[in-house]
Chains A and B, each alone.
Chain A
């Protein structure tokens, strides 16, 4: 079976470094003494704690409840006592602490009562809510609550379901190992996704540098009662990106500013499908995942890790070595540097990559852009990165937006190929965060202006009312004096009320008109991104002025 594949534009071929970690079997990581479970591991509203300090919790027990539609629950990964609820170090580039629930484990690893769900009999909406409450979120990196993505919405069904086993980032092999060892469970999860989305076509895209995973998935797919096509796709970064995987497999592009479901396609990572199957068929919430620990360690390999396990424990397990120069969560193209190794593994942790000076030599100093447009050739979003860079550097954010800055997926291909070694992506992040900040400021200013205008309007109105009252009084008096006693202000008051109502309506309409549009109705991903980028703004801004300045004269 051969499917016509399509080529997305751009992409790069960084050294893969998959062999380091994909040769060893998956090991369960031992139970740590302390688990730190962040309440915000997903995109959307953080979970609300539902346990108290000092309370004993069981493995799989709900400790943070989903708060709203776009949110996700968190659970105790093992049994023990809750010792703290509050800010602790989390795996975020900013190094800022976030609310976490800390559990001292008791070593008994005692499960809470749990049972499979009768998913075929359940109402889809109920099933989705259960999945949200079991903490299922995208494990490919974005950690978007899966329940939301499994809602086909008004369309009632989503014809094409793509299961993403691309794993295009160098060094990472957790999806590879998961597909090799748990193909059946992945496809069991896919069956449930297909059921919820009403999909008729199921495609599994796997980069062709993972032949064992492809074979395992094909074997498993053969035993299913619905057709699943396992498609090897060319290994090119970022071919595992959702938009790129869609284009490779279907030849279609997600329209700018829309979602893939708008063209009838939904994409899930293989890890998410696996977690979904565990939740539905075993009643187990998402409390563990596969994590690749690789780079500058003695035994690079994959571990099955409880969410909340400190990263240093895993590095020790893989054998730490002298000369580490830092740790990334994720791969070298899009990963984030960890502020400390005390941070816990979270749902988004697919890889812990230990850097060394040999594996990751310091990047050379940037030279000016020579407009060679290798970045444009490499850009999978088909942008003109050299122009975006020019606008971002000049602070011309309006032009940057005109040149589709917000279509940038920050994959890093442009920075990778740049012969001048310009950290281009940093400039785009900087420009995006500046635009968001300005729009927020503008919104605040608009609000202040509206308040001021309304106050003016109110003062005017009060003055007028007072004057009218006085006039009415005077008139009444005059009328009284004229000894005709039936005059009344009532019709007058009615007209006044109508006048005020009309003015109010006008003010409201104006208010609605004046509200800025660009940051309205942001997708939760973008909202999350804004928050994340916000914390990096100061650093990036500094950077934007640094690299290309002339050296200080002595």
Chain B
């Protein structure tokens, strides 16, 4: 083996482990504000992802251990689980996870080869195929009279016999849903925002979840697991686009802070759009990639068919990565800088 003969301490496992660790504040806040149901979803997605990963590795003739222990399948599972409604039925979770791991990851060539973010592919498949089930969100505990226990949540998820009244008492529209429905009913943004589901900036509870994802994302940035370009550009894309629309017609378009403090934006900006495999790799490319995803998120939220657009925005930008990378190659050492005559 030629040089170098030493390597640093980093490993794929370590990178993925930090991503999972950075998601923990978000999971904690989720449990605290929305009840323990998310833990069932996370566990089910994790088990499904690992089983699917193992099966696919075996089918493809790859060794199981190095790839199962790289934790990448668990990251996919968690990102998908955190994007799903917290009381989504078990088969929805399993279907989404299977699609993410089997189709979006392994059929594209496995770790490092997928051009789309697997979790977002899983999410997109579910929201297109099962739009009704994808609305089964548990409302924030603050607004719920009788919150579900862990066992009750598991019952709901696994299709147990839960009285409809109990379920109706805990599920409610997300702030983005409420905004969308309200706007369709010709209410102004200000009227809609008086509903209890809306909090200071974002939704009641939701804004704290967003803040927790933001904190986890900043941790990843501080550890240099992710760069600043994608998250900052993503948030800027959301804020500027929403701000532009809101500035011209505050009655018909939600405030930029409201859009920014939706948990999906923070999760998308720091954890999903920063997926290195499916994202742009050049510094300028990452700015374009992040901004484009933020911009498209607002476009889809405003004019698209779905209340949230983060998943589709990221998938569309995933599609543009080869083009972005190709045209944003940075200057190499010794190459003339832009606007500077080549030195001789």
Q: Give the docked Cα–Cα distance between A365 and B62 (Å).
A: 13
Q: Give the docked Cα–Cα distance between A381 and B3 (Å).
A: 18
Minimum CB distance partner of A335 in chain B: B3
Whether B7 is near chain A, meaning CB under 8 Å from some CB there, is yes
Q: Give the docked Cα–Cα distance between A383 and B282 (Å).
A: 10
Whether A350 is near chain B, meaning CB under 8 Å from some CB there, is no
CB distance from A390 to the nearest CB of B (A): 10
Chain A 516-547, CB within 8 Å of chain B: the 1/0 string? Answer: 00000000000000000000100010010000
CB distance from B111 to the nearest CB of A (A): 5
CB distance from B310 to the nearest CB of A (A): 21
Whether A115 is near chain B, meaning CB under 8 Å from some CB there, is no
CB distance from A388 to the nearest CB of B (A): 11
Residues on B with beta carbons closer than 8 Å to the beta carbon of A454: none
> Which of the 9-residue segments B40-48, B197-205, B332-340 touches chain A?
B332-340
Residues on B with beta carbons closer than 8 Å to the beta carbon of A368: 110-113
Minimum CB distance partner of A376 in chain B: B281
Contact B2–A367 (Cβ < 8 Å): no
Q: Give the docked Cα–Cα distance between A551 and B61 (Å).
A: 6
Q: Give the docked Cα–Cα distance between A149 and B20 (Å).
A: 54
Whether B63 is near chain A, meaning CB under 8 Å from some CB there, is yes
Contact A9–B333 (Cβ < 8 Å): yes
Interface size (B, Cβ < 8 Å)?
Answer: 43
Residues on A with beta carbons closer than 8 Å to the beta carbon of B344: 255, 258, 262
Interface set, chain B 1-40, CB cutoff 8 A to A? 1-8, 10-12, 14-15
Residues on B with beta carbons closer than 8 Å to the beta carbon of A332: 3-6
Q: A336-B3, A337-B2, A360-B6 are in contact. Are A381 and B333 (CB under 8 A)?
A: yes
Contact B4–A367 (Cβ < 8 Å): no
Whether B181 is near chain A, meaning CB under 8 Å from some CB there, is no
Contact B3–A367 (Cβ < 8 Å): no
Contact B331–A382 (Cβ < 8 Å): yes
Contact A253–B334 (Cβ < 8 Å): yes
Residues on A with beta carbons closer than 8 Å to the beta carbon of B113: 368
Whether A426 is near chain B, meaning CB under 8 Å from some CB there, is yes
Whether B276 is near chain A, meaning CB under 8 Å from some CB there, is yes
Residues on B with beta carbons closer than 8 Å to the beta carbon of A417: 8, 10
Whether B277 is near chain A, meaning CB under 8 Å from some CB there, is yes
Residues on B with beta carbons closer than 8 Å to the beta carbon of A423: 1-2
Residues on B with beta carbons closer than 8 Å to the beta carbon of A369: 112
Q: Give the docked Cα–Cα distance between A373 and B328 (Å).
A: 14
Contact B276–A372 (Cβ < 8 Å): yes
CB distance from A95 to the nearest CB of B (A): 13
Q: Give the docked Cα–Cα distance between A8 and B4 (Å).
A: 21
CB distance from A544 to the nearest CB of B (A): 12
Contact A256–B12 (Cβ < 8 Å): no
Q: A382-B332, A416-B4 are in contact. Are A370 and B110 (CB under 8 A)?
A: no
Residues on B with beta carbons closer than 8 Å to the beta carbon of A374: 10
Interface set, chain B 308-332, CB cutoff 8 A to A? 325, 329-332
CB distance from A327 to the nearest CB of B (A): 11
CB distance from A398 to the nearest CB of B (A): 14
Interface set, chain A 336-378, CB cutoff 8 A to B? 336-337, 355, 360, 363-365, 367-374, 376
CB distance from A446 to the nearest CB of B (A): 30
CB distance from B246 to the nearest CB of A (A): 35
Whether A328 is near chain B, meaning CB under 8 Å from some CB there, is yes
Contact A404–B332 (Cβ < 8 Å): yes
In which size bucket is the chain A interface?
Answer: 35 or more
Interface set, chain A 5-46, CB cutoff 8 A to B? 8-9, 12, 14-15
Whether A148 is near chain B, meaning CB under 8 Å from some CB there, is no
Contact B333–A256 (Cβ < 8 Å): yes
Residues on B with beta carbons closer than 8 Å to the beta carbon of A360: 5-6
Q: Give the docked Cα–Cα distance between A536 and B1 (Å).
A: 10
Q: Give the docked Cα–Cα distance between A374 and B325 (Å).
A: 16
CB distance from B292 to the nearest CB of A (A): 18
Whether B66 is near chain A, meaning CB under 8 Å from some CB there, is yes
Residues on A with beta carbons closer than 8 Å to the beta carbon of B8: 12, 14, 416-417
Minimum CB distance partner of B57 in chain A: A550
Q: A258-B344, A419-B15 are in contact. Are A425 and B112 (CB under 8 A)?
A: no
Find A328's partner among B5, B10, B335 (CB 8 Å cutoff). Answer: B5
Residues on A with beta carbons closer than 8 Å to the beta carbon of B2: 93, 336-337, 423, 425-426, 429, 536, 540
Q: Which of B67, B112, B325 is the most central at the interface, judged by chain A CB atoms within 10 Å of its CB? A: B112
Q: Give the docked Cα–Cα distance between A526 and B17 (Å).
A: 43
Q: Give the docked Cα–Cα distance between A332 and B281 (Å).
A: 29
Contact B61–A367 (Cβ < 8 Å): no
Interface set, chain B 272-296, CB cutoff 8 A to A? 276-277, 279, 281-282
Whether A401 is near chain B, meaning CB under 8 Å from some CB there, is no
Contact A367–B335 (Cβ < 8 Å): no
Contact B4–A425 (Cβ < 8 Å): yes
Q: Give the docked Cα–Cα distance between A345 and B198 (Å).
A: 76
Chain B 46-65, CB within 8 Å of chain A: the 1/0 string? Answer: 00000000000000111100
Contact A333–B6 (Cβ < 8 Å): yes
**A-B contacts, 21 listed (Cβ < 8 Å):** A14-B8, A255-B335, A255-B336, A333-B5, A334-B4, A337-B2, A360-B6, A367-B70, A372-B276, A374-B10, A381-B334, A384-B330, A404-B335, A416-B7, A421-B7, A425-B3, A425-B4, A550-B63, A551-B62, A551-B63, A552-B61
Among all A-B residue pairs, the 6 with the closest Cβ atoms: A412-B4, A368-B112, A256-B334, A550-B61, A419-B10, A372-B276
B→A interface (CB under 8 Å): 1-8, 10-12, 14-15, 60-63, 66-67, 70, 72, 110-113, 227, 276-277, 279, 281-282, 325, 329-336, 342-344
A→B interface (CB under 8 Å): 8-9, 12, 14-15, 93, 170, 243, 253-258, 262-263, 328, 330, 332-337, 355, 360, 363-365, 367-374, 376, 380-384, 386-387, 403-404, 407, 410, 412, 415-421, 423, 425-426, 429, 536, 540, 543, 550-553
